[in-house]
């Protein structure tokens, strides 16, 4: 079961998120879930965690190109 939390974002990021497809929103939610969980649970350095999450996201179809496109509002 998912629990909803509120995380403050800048207006542009929030707008971009809401403009993405439901499928992309699910991928971004998964990415954020993995990232937060790893950051909270893991004593590893932040860069190591980011690299691992990036790899997991790419394996699940969220490539750096797709993420870049989202961030650029394309």
Q: Which sequence spans correspond to the domains of the chain?
A: 27-71
Distance of CA 52 to the CA centre of its chain: 13
| pLDDT, mean of residues 39-68 | 79
| Rounded to 5°, angle at Cα 4 from 43 and 1 | 85
Q: Which two tokens stand for residue 20?
A: 């993405």
> What would the pLDDT profile of 48-58 be if each residue is shown by its tens digit?
877 887 788 78
The crossing angle, in degrees rounded to 10, of helices 22-41 and 46-59 is 150
> What would the pLDDT profile of 1-16 be if each residue is shown by its tens digit?
889 999 999 899 899 9
Average pLDDT, the chain: 83
pTM for this entry: 0.56
């Amino acid at each position: 079961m998912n629990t909803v939390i509120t995380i403050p974002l800048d207006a542009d990021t929030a707008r971009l998120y809401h403009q993405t497809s439901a499928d992309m929103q699910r991928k971004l939610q998964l990415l954020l879930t993995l990232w937060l969980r790893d950051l909270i649970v893991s004593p590893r350095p932040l860069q190591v965690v980011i690299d691992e999450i990036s790899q997991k996201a790419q394996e699940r179809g969220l490539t750096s190109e797709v993420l870049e496109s989202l961030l650029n509002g394309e």
